[in-house]
Amino acid sequence: MLRLTKTSARFGSQGVTAICKLPRVKPLFCGVIFLVLGLASLPAQNATPARPVDPSQPRPAQPVLPDGLTPPEVNLAPSSSTPVPAPPPTNAPPSSTVSVSIVADSSLKQVLQELAQSWADTQDSGPQVPLTLTNAGTLRTKVEGGTVWDVVISADVEDMRDLTAKGVLVSDGQRSLARNTLIVYGRKALVKDDELEWFDLIGTEWKKVALGNPDLVASGRVATRALQKHDLLGEDQKSIYVHAPTEIAALAVAEREQADAVFCYKTDLAKVSLPGFDVFHLSTADAPPIFYTAAVSKQARNPELAQAFILYCSSEAGQAIWAKYGFETN
């Protein structure tokens, strides 16, 4: 018959008492029970974030999860009852922004950029002045086709008269802002002769001559009439001419040494100097001055500001800017 004995123990501050009646032959089993009861009585401790492998690195803010485990997704979307404000628009002009759009001859690029900025600085509304620059032919086609700009400035007076007659442009308030002069910029004659004129060199020393396409460019139309006057557009001479979409493009042909001379504006030569080239002037009988005429479009969104810009361009302050870029004013 087995002999039983009573064993008791107290653990920790909880005062847990365990009493077991065990056979003397099994003390190990009783000891395991005491160990389990003792661990259960210990206070719980917070989880400690894992330390990084590199001790020099900062301790992570969250415990490092083992591979293959992902934290539970948290739904951050607001409830349907919470109104969500719309984000403010980015890179969008304020609805109150005032704009005066201009389409003009491409020969006016630099002077119009300064005129537009100078005029805008005088306006309390701080208007934006977007510029569209193109040749006279494309300008007429776009305006006549219904493309809307506030101000139209062309180098072809006849086009402006036709557009006004068709009711596309406002007749009142039109202004002739400035004028330009057509010249020939070509290679110097091999034999110096003060009596030689530009038309004496075409086809003899000048084998290739560049000019604006007369179907598109105002200066090209003037140049064509001058060539016709001196009988230089015969069938055997047509291969001499290289047509370009603008005066600057025609000048670039000469810069690439693909032409011996070029019809261009006097203002185009401000930053161009080709070795061996010289300026040949055309008489007013051969090439009358080219006038830049400005008008307000019948479809202008801001006709009052458009007229104000035109008046500024013809004012004393505006004329000083025209003169700065080599244009002649009235």
Q: What is the CATH number of the domain that holds 140?
A: 3.40.190.10
Asked if 262 and 189 sit in the same domain, the reply is yes
Q: Is residue 52 assigned to a domain?
A: no
Asked if 187 and 277 sit in the same domain, the reply is yes
Read off the pLDDT of each residue in 76-102 and give the average, rounded to a whole number.
57
Output the pLDDT for position 7: 41
What range defines the domain where residue 126 resides? 102-179+291-324
Asked if 141 and 268 sit in the same domain, the reply is no
Q: Is residue 59 assigned to a domain?
A: no
Q: Is residue 41 assigned to a domain?
A: no
Q: Please choose, from the candidates 109, 154, 112, the residue with its C-alpha nearest in 3D space to the C-alpha of residue 268.
A: 109
Query: At 12, is the pLDDT very low, low, confident or very high (cuts 50, 70, 90)?
Result: very low
Q: Is 4 left (phi over 0), alpha (psi -120 to 50) or beta?
A: beta
Output the pLDDT for position 271: 81
Query: At 68, is the pLDDT very low, low, confident or very high (cuts 50, 70, 90)?
Result: very low
Per-residue model confidence as pLDDT tens digits over 134-184? 999 999 999 999 999 999 999 999 999 999 999 999 999 999 999 999 999
Q: Is residue 250 assigned to a domain?
A: yes
Neighbours of 237 (CB within 10 A): 14
Asked if 265 and 230 sit in the same domain, the reply is yes
Q: Which amino acid is at 148?
A: V
Alpha-helix runs per DSSP H in 145-261 = 157-165, 198-201, 218-229, 247-255
DSSP H or E segment with residue 319:
helix 316-324
Q: Which amino acid is at 181?
A: T
Q: Are 296 and 306 in contact (CB under 8 A)?
A: yes
Q: Is residue 62 assigned to a domain?
A: no
Per-residue model confidence as pLDDT tens digits over 194-243? 788 999 999 999 999 999 999 999 999 999 999 999 999 999 999 999 99
Q: What's the total number of domains in the chain?
A: 2
Residues ≥6 apart with Cβ < 8 Å to 157: 291, 293
Q: Is residue 166 assigned to a domain?
A: yes
Q: Is residue 68 assigned to a domain?
A: no
Asked if 237 and 116 sit in the same domain, the reply is no
Q: Is residue 8 assigned to a domain?
A: no
Asked if 264 and 192 sit in the same domain, the reply is yes
Asked if 169 and 207 sit in the same domain, the reply is no
Half-sphere exposure (Cβ direction) of 189: Cα atoms closer than 13 Å: 15
Residue 65 CA: distances (Å) to CA of 44, 55, 58, 75: 21, 18, 17, 20
Asked if 169 and 204 sit in the same domain, the reply is no
* Global pTM exceeds 0.75: no
